[in-house]
Amino acid sequence: MKVYHNSSCSKSRLCVEFLTQEKHDFEVVNYMKNPLSKAELQGLLARLELKPSELVRRNEVLFKEAKKVGVLTEDEILQLMLEHPKLIERPIVEVNGKAVLARPIENLESFLQIELNRITR
* Active-site annotation holder among 1, 2, 9, 24: 9
End-to-end CA distance of the chain: 17
Tell me, yes or no, if 15 is annotated catalytic.
no
Do you know the residue count of the chain? Answer: 121
What distances in angstroms separate CA 6 from CA 15, 29, 30, 72, one per listed residue?
11, 9, 6, 25
Cis peptide before 104 (omega within 30 of 0): yes
Assess contact for 55 and 45: CB atoms under 8 A.
Answer: yes
Task: Please name the residues in contact with 73: beta carbons below 8 A apart, sequence gap of 6 or more.
Answer: none
DSSP letter at 85 equals G
Active site residues per annotation: 9
